[in-house]
Structure 1
């Protein structure tokens, strides 16, 4: 894991421990909380046009930043609870994605890998 991500993981651990929240941080509960926070991130973009979503107002950008932070915090926490290095997992997944979506076939299309 990266040094920054290790530091965040340790900070989140300490935060939960200081509040005796570890008892609530099962992988199931964390996954549900992650889903809820992802939904809150979606709300920032609800009803925006494509152009508006690329040029958020300062208020919407701040809201997106807070929700992205919540998503990251829960993601780091669930990875910690499961003993998964999220950086290593993402790198392994990118190797799989390279195979599923070869650039020469996937360039410029939004088709799923099963349709390429």
Structure 2
């Protein structure tokens, strides 16, 4: 039985080396190239970003984009409505294709 376990362990790929622990109080280095970073870059532009822009850039579902925006507010970013584009249908109802443009005007506080 021990031989079988040893054979299985030798067939496994080698384990990853342990990560070095951070010093207490040291700031984390943010990862680059993430979808969150992509959305923040879009939001920091002067003309902001609409929901459809963010969905296209990340492949996220609309509710995920809205949840991310709510999370930014909780993390101290100031997310403001830059513009509301309203497609009006019959009876002055909002039609499909209406969207809101958001901007980040200030980074996290503290």
What TM-score does the superposition give when structure 2 sets the normalisation length?
Answer: 0.22
Which has the higher Rg, Structure 1 or Structure 2?
2
What TM-score does the superposition give when structure 1 sets the normalisation length?
Answer: 0.22
Higher fraction of strand: 2
Higher fraction of helix: 1
